[in-house]
Structure formats: structure tokens, C-alpha cells
Structure 1
Amino acid sequence: MARIGITGATGRIGGMVARLLENGPDELVLIVRDAACAPRGPWRVRTTTGYADPANREALAGLDVLLMVSAAESADRLDQHRAFVASAAAAGVPHVVYTSFLGAAPDAVFILSRTHWATEQALRASGMALTVLRDSFYLDFLPKMAVDGVIAGPAGDGVVSAVAQSDVAASAAAVLADPAPHAGATYELTGPEAIGLARVAETVTRLTGVPTRYRNETVEQARASRARYGVPDWQLDAWVSTYTAIAAGEVAAVTDDVRALTGREPLSLERLLTR
């Protein structure tokens, strides 16, 4: 019996992974900020104040494999990740499964991919075994990109191989249940096809009855239309780069990795909206 640690268990991915593994033979340990917010289930709960908490070394002690769900977007996310990696290594965690991003690279168009790439490098340098799950944009998020019935952004005619959150969770659970064969592997988790935002809008309209359309913007228009939210520049740039990454073809790759890990075909947008 292995002891599996799961971070982000109060969020969507970590919570789904915990549920998928709850009836297995392994012992689950959820690492959360607030024990009162942890899902109820047959697992242990350990608390920390966040990824940069020095107490993480104690919270991670005794684990055989750890799911490291990337921290919430912030200006210091990379610093948080590096601190957490250091704590995991110091705690003697032998194997980490990290949720990264498709096309992670130091010069990625999608700005947040750069942080994922740097985190991967920190994990590789740590001496711990590593499995990387590079997921595409979430399929669940695409319909939510519409504001007042319009998906607007500088994506041009680009396409995105978006993947359902449930498929990411199932892939992570499959790796955690038998991690040894996946040590050193990088998986690119995508949906079954790459689709453009105009087709996303058409599909949402057709299947939900909510009129939705896509409007291409310039980068300048996109920044101006989002400036009203009053977010810091790094966040505004990240939002806009979601679309420019699609335009650049950075998230267009389609792989068979979800099926290879889970034994099932990944969800399409049509199936997600009608299930």
C-alpha cells in the first residue's frame, strides 16, 4: 500500500483525483490550507498555509508519491513552486506528479507556460522522480470565455486542443495509482481534436441555446477591453496571451495520451455539453 499525497484537493482537479482514488488500496493524504474546506472522505488531512510554508516539510513526510497541482495564478507563483519543491525534496518525497501546461517553454507565448517550464526544471534538478502532465487549456473553460454572449480575443483563426478537467483528473489518478512505470515521463493531455473559437461559439449556441459568437480582436483591443477589471499588468498580459497562444498554434497539438493513460477517449466539447 502506497501513501499518496494530493495538493489542491479543495479545488477541481485535486478534488476529483481524490474521489477517483478513494476506494483504492492506497492511503490518501490531502494537503490543504483549511481542513474545514477539505472534502469528506476516507483520507488523512494535513494543513499548511500555502506552497511557501516552511512547515510543508513536515506535511509531506512519509509520502510515496505526491500530486503537485500548480498553485493559483499570482505574481510570485514560481517562487511558491520552488519553495514547495525544496520542501518536498527535503521531506524525502521520492516521486512527484506535476500538472504543467502544453507547450511549456521559457519563451512560450502563453506567459503562464513559462512558470510551468521553470517549475519543471526545478523538479528535475531536485533529485526526485518526476512525471509531468502537460494539459492543454481546459475544455470546461471555453464556454465561460463568453462575456455577454461574445468570446472576444486575439486568437485569429487558431485552434486549441482543449481537454476536459475530468480527463486530466483521470490521467493523474492513473499515474498515482501505479507511479513507477511513469517516472521520467511527460504526457501531453489534450482533447480529441483542436477547434477554433468560432466553432466553440457555434457549438455552445447549438447545444445550450445560449446565443454565442466569436469576435477576433487585436492585442491592443483585448488589453483595452479588459483594463476595466483593474488587474495588475502581469495578469492582464496573461489573459491576453491565452488568445495569442491559440493564434500562434501553441496549443494546437492533439495527442493520444489521455486514452493511453485512462483507457478511454477524451471528451469532446459536444460530449461535455450534453452529458
Structure 2
Amino acid sequence: MAFIVTTGASGRLGGRVAARLAAAGVRQRLVSRQPGRLAPLPAGAHAVGADYGDAGAVRQALEGASTVLFVSASESADRLDRHRTFVAAARDAGVGHLVYISFYGAAPQATFTLARDHWATEQCIRDSGLPFTFLRDNLYADFLPGMVGEDGVIRGPAGDGRVAAVAQDDIADAAAAVLLDPGAHEGATYDLTGPQALTLDEVAATLSGITGREVAYHDETLAEAYESRRCYDAPGWQVEAWVSTYLAIAAGELEAVSDAIPALTGHPATTLEELLSRE
């Protein structure tokens, strides 16, 4: 009997998708590195543990699946290698359709460094011969409040560039729609965005208006951006990823608004004001 595998099921996005599929009465196998975090399980689901870098465990977890939601691995220096291992295991397991959570503007020369890894993962999936659908998410609108420092300032070299950030609930709705009818979306790539592109000054003003906390945006120079992040003692690749997020905004690579959310879900994309008002 056909079933759907939902990976990253203990995470914010995978968990949302799993809940929607459960509500639709779908049988699921939920995959997580920490399956114990999945209790209580949605109806019609059971959990298995597998790390993307463990080919045998992944192959066993995906065996017999009609469709798989492939949520990208957590950020790490070896994430692309782990993705390649996952794709090869999915091919060997005979997966019927792979739905990959990619990133908006994924390309080999993307300013945002991790978007390059997403592009490489997409190419790996194409080369595997697996039927696929790519969901290219813009920045998560849910994470914008987390960009505010303790002093109430968003800092980064984004200039007056704009970002069409998208709500995770909207992504989950879109992903569920594709997973429930994968054949209708075979070979498609969807850019998932919010309904408007905002500057970080506008993001700060919206956060101030909704939360009541005074928030401002400081447009850092590149040197300032690297210096202000030195305190985190993070590896170089990660700091570059953080800074390049803002540089991608400045370059206009995250500003275009698509109609994919309403087209896939049947409802308008969520504005930042609406999202913040729900919390």
C-alpha cells in the first residue's frame, strides 16, 4: 500500500507538513535523526531514525515509498555530501517521486552561498533519474524576528534591497498539495514567496508596529558585517553564509514575488503583518 515519507519531521517545516498529511488521512513514515522527538505521532504515521549521511539507514527508511518529502539537512560543512548520499539512497530504494525543499534563486553563482549547494542538490536529483518537484523557498518570514539583536537592531549589508519572505505555514500548505498529487507537478520548480517584497527598514517598521518593541535596521558595510559576527566564534563557511544572505537581498536576488503559493494552495500568501499578529 502506497505511503509518503516525510523527512525532517521533528523540525518546524517537516512537522507542519506531517500534520497536514495526517489531517488528509495519508499513511506516513516520518524520518528524523531523533525519532523520539516525534511523540505523539500523527494518526496513520510511524517514525524511523536515519541520518542523511547513512546510506543504508536512509535506503531502509525510504523503501517502498510512493513519494518522499526531502527537507534539506541542517546547515553544515558537509551538507551537500549528505544530500548526495540521500539522493542515491532514494534512487536505490525505488522512490516514486522526490519533492525537494530547495532555496529561491538556487544557482551555481548565487550570492547566498548555501543557494549554490541547493542548486547542486537539484542537479544531483536531476541526474538520478528520479521524478521530482522542487520547492524553492524564499527566506522564512517566521525567522525575521530572530534577525533582531538584543539592542533592537537588525544588522547586515542588505542596503535598500527587498526580500519576499514566505511563511512556513504557506510552504507546508504548498508542499502538502504537491505530495497529495505528485504526478501533476512532476518536473516542476516552484518559487515560494510571500505576497510582497520588503526592505529591511520596512521589516523593522512592521516588527515595531506589531510587537510594540522599537526595531531599527542598520545597513552594515561588509567589514562591519564580518566584525559584528566575530563574537559567535562560528566557522568561516557559516559566517559567509550569514553575511551573504544580506548581500543577496542587496543584489535583488530575493525580491521577485511569485504566485505559486496561491496557485498551489488556493489561498493568498501570508503577509508579515498577518504572520506576526498570529504569534
Runs (5+) with no aligned partner, structure 1:
none
Q: For residues 73-122 of structure 1, what are the alpha-carbon distances to aligned partners after superposition, in whole Å with 9 as ceiling and x for unaligned?
A: 00000000000000000000021000000000001000000000000000
Q: Is contact 2:133-2:187 (8 Å) kept? A: yes
| SS of match in other structure, 1:16 | helix
Match of 1:52 in 2: 53
Of residues 185, 188, 212 in structure 2, which corresponds to 1:185?
188
- Is 1:20 the counterpart of 2:23 in the alignment? no
- Which residue of 72, 78, 81 corresponds with 1:79? 81
Please tell me whether the aligned partners of residues 194 and 253 of structure 1 are also in contact (alpha carbons under 8 angstroms).
yes
Contact 2:133–2:188 (CA<8 Å) still a contact in 1? yes
Alignment of 1:92-241 (within 5 A): 92-147=94-149, 148-241=151-244
> Which residue type is aligned with residue 243 of structure 2?
V
Superposition RMSD in Å: 0.9
2:260 pairs with 1:271: no
Do the aligned residues in 2 keep the contact of 1:161 with 1:194 (CA within 8 Å)?
yes
1:24-35 correspondence runs (5 A): 24-35=24-35
For normalisation by structure 1, the TM-score amounts to: 0.98
1:273 to partner: Cα distance = 1.1
Paired residues of 2:142 and 2:168 also in contact (CA < 8 A): yes
Q: Which amino acid aligns with 1:33?
A: R
Verify the 8 A CA contact 1:9 1:39 in the aligned structure 2. no
- Name stretches of at least 5 consecutive residues in structure 2 with no aligned partner: none
Cα distance, 1:20 vs structure 2: 0.6
Aligned pair count reads: 274
The aligned runs of 1:242-253 (5 Å cut-off) are: 242-253=245-256
3-state secondary structure, aligned to 1:258: helix
How far apart are 1:139 and its partner, in Å?
0.5
Q: Which moved more, 1:202-211 or 1:31-40?
A: 31-40
Structure 2 counterpart of 1:258, one-letter code:
I
Checking the alignment, whether the CA contact within 8 Å between 2:59 and 2:89 is kept in structure 1 is: yes
Deviation at 1:2, TM superposition (A): 3.4
Give every structure 1 segment of 4 or more consecutive aligned residues whose post-TM-superposition deviation is greater than 4 Å. Answer: none
CA distance in 1, matches of 2:34, 2:12: 16
TM-score, reference length from structure 2:
0.97
- Please report how far the alpha carbon of residue 182 of structure 1 lies from its aligned counterpart in structure 2 after TM superposition: 0.4
Partner amino acid, structure 1, of 2:112: F
Compute the displacement of 1:201 (Å): 0.5
**Matched residue SS, 2:242:** helix
Cα pair 1:106 1:118 within 8 Å, conserved: yes
In the alignment, the residues of structure 2 paired with residue 255 and residue 6 of structure 1 have an alpha-carbon distance, to the nearest angstrom, of 25
The Cα shift of 1:58 comes to 1.1
8 Å CA contact 1:150–1:213 kept in 2: the answer is yes
Structure 2 CA distance, aligned partners of 1:251 and 1:39?
36
What is the letter of the counterpart of residue 270 of structure 1? E
Give the distance between the partners of 1:45 and 1:78, measured in 2 at CA. Answer: 24
Q: Which amino acid aligns with 1:158?
A: G
